[in-house]
A and B are shown apart, each in its own frame.
Chain A
Amino acid sequence: MVHAVDGISFEVGEGEIVGFLGPNGAGKTTTLKMLSGLLHAESGRADVLGYTPWQRSKELLSQITLVLGQRQNLAWDLPALDSFDLNKAIYQIPTADFERRRERFIEILDIGEIVTKPVRNLSLGERMKVEICAALLHGPKVLFLDEPTIGLDVTMQRRLREFVLEYNAEENAAVLLTSHYMADITALAERVIVIHHGKILYDGGLKVLAEEFGGEKTITVHAEAVPDGLGYGGIIEQTSTKLSLRVPRSEVASTTARLLNDVNVLDLSIEDPPIEEVIERVFATPKDEG
């Protein structure tokens, strides 16, 4: 028998945003579905706001939200405003709170015009904005966001990220987020959990992850002239005016000093490897090394 998730254990604190990373089939969505009460775990224990999620108590479901990217929860043929009203009844949201949040979200997401149009007439990005607005009207304390920006253009992705950040700051809500877009993770989460084959490979700070698994840095210099035959290893790119090197972290200082000595540097940058690359290394690392 293959277990979708196997012996994973982690805690997420109030107001914390955690990125949940892993390749397709790693167990991310399964974990989110278990924690939001959709799936019943065969064994083990989970506690969300003091409730066992798969017992599906109304008290818990009223305080959480689950957003599945590109899934449509609103009435297709009606304006989103009508579905918002239905959510008010479902979650028994006091009128004052409902109106305050609705107006605030409409303003932040800039959806004043689109909420009056039938959902079927909206673009994917517009639909996602009204979906996430509807999903947060009851003021959930825990947000499970599964690929919330999938299929959206970069502007729309940024807008949704800003909205989640703002909601998190205002309501002190915990957010557990999965995304294949690293920009989502780096913009929102300081902590990440990396999962693969149903097991947690890493749980910690995003920066620490880059340091632990991004063993090398990239040094790039732009110079008036970069002569041949300087004898550097790890060359990524070399032109007559540019040199990019990949060097171990321990050699960054000495290599930089040498470069400053060897060429007439106009500009110099030292960068961590792209986070995607770091994550790939985590996946490739056996568990006992990670």
Chain B
Amino acid sequence: MLALAKYYVAAGKLSIQAQIQYRASTYFYLIGFLIEPIVYLVVWRSVAESQGGSIGGYSAEALTAYYIVWTLVRAMNVGFDPNAWGWRIQRGRLNEMLSRPIHPFHRDFAWFGGGKFVWILLWLPMAAGLWIAFRPQISPTLGEGVGFFIAIWLAYAVRFALLWALGMITFWTTRGSAVFEIFIGAELLLSGRLVPLDLMPQWTQNIGAWLPFKWTFQFPIEVVIGRLTGGEILTGLAIQTAWAAALIALIWTFWKPAVSKYTAVGG
């Protein structure tokens, strides 16, 4: 365990150094992430204002806060794209990862995780700009702040494991990208990414309650914008932990059969 912790520290440091080298492109990614929530924000603010200032319990200012926090949560839950597994295999990069005595999951999780520190740092001035432009309604307590910090990392763990598990389909078929498209569609509707689930029909909320998506987007946002009680926050963190553990167990279970299908192309 200590050895694994040392690995995470070393890999995280390396990733931070690499991300600093790529800070310009990281900034462009973050700017790209702005377009999606700003569209949602403008649309839903207009809808809220046309309905007397609020919709589904969200005031226009609360919706603004929701989508500004959204940008950080989105940056936090970026993981290894399942579509990139094909590239990784074709370029022979998986050979190098498999020839080392550490699970490639740890390699990716540590690498993307380390990069988050740089992403958060770069996000701060962007968030300040959004704050000035849109004046959100947000004043988290210390408990909500701590809860949010834990929740965004758990959201990263859940979504990362979900993407990684999807990527493993590549070991069986090169057409795994079709499954990823379904995933993206489901995530848009059931995570709170497109719109807070409270604004969706009840049946959508019922389905969403049994799936991991909500815990990667809406839950951390709700923690910091003050829509949850202390008990709900603790329960949510426990559910996030359970989802992360279940998905990682799934990956570990299917890893050996997956690797036995590997044909090690690409040199």
Residues of A at the B interface (CB closer than 8 Å) are 29, 33, 36-40, 54, 56, 58-59, 61-62, 64-66, 68-71, 73, 75, 77-78, 82-83, 85-86, 88-92, 118, 146
Contact = CB atoms under 8 A, between A and B. Distances in A.
Nearest to A66: B99
Contact of B10 (A36, A68, A88): A88
Interface in B94-139: 95-96, 98-102
Interface stretch (B148-156, B211-219, B234-242, B256-264): B256-264
A221 to B, nearest CB: 47
B267 A85 contact: no
Interface in B62-112: 92, 95-96, 98-102
Contacts of A91: 100-101
Contact of A40 (B17, B21, B260): B260
B7 interface: yes
A58 B101 contact: yes
A78 B17 contact: yes
B200 interface: no
Contacts of A89: 3, 6-7, 9-11
A70 B267 contact: yes
Contact of B101 (A33, A69, A77, A90): A90
17 contacts: A29-B267, A37-B99, A38-B98, A54-B260, A56-B98, A65-B99, A66-B95, A68-B92, A68-B96, A69-B267, A71-B96, A75-B18, A82-B17, A86-B10, A89-B7, A89-B9, A92-B3
A90 B267 contact: no
B252 interface: no
Contacts of B92: 68, 71
Given A75-B18, A78-B21, A38 B95 contact: yes
Nearest to A87: B100
Interface in B1-28: 3, 6-7, 9-11, 14, 17-18, 21-22
Nearest to A4: B263
Contact of B21 (A33, A68, A77): A77
A78 B95 contact: no
Given A38-B262, A56-B259, 10 more contacts: A38-B99, A38-B264, A39-B264, A68-B267, A71-B95, A71-B96, A77-B21, A78-B21, A82-B17, A118-B21
Contact of B96 (A56, A64, A73, A78): A73
A33 B7 contact: no
Given A61-B101, A90-B101, A40 B18 contact: no
B14 A68 contact: no
Which of B17, B95, B101, B267 has the most A CB atoms < 10 Å from its CB? B101
B43 to A, nearest CB: 39
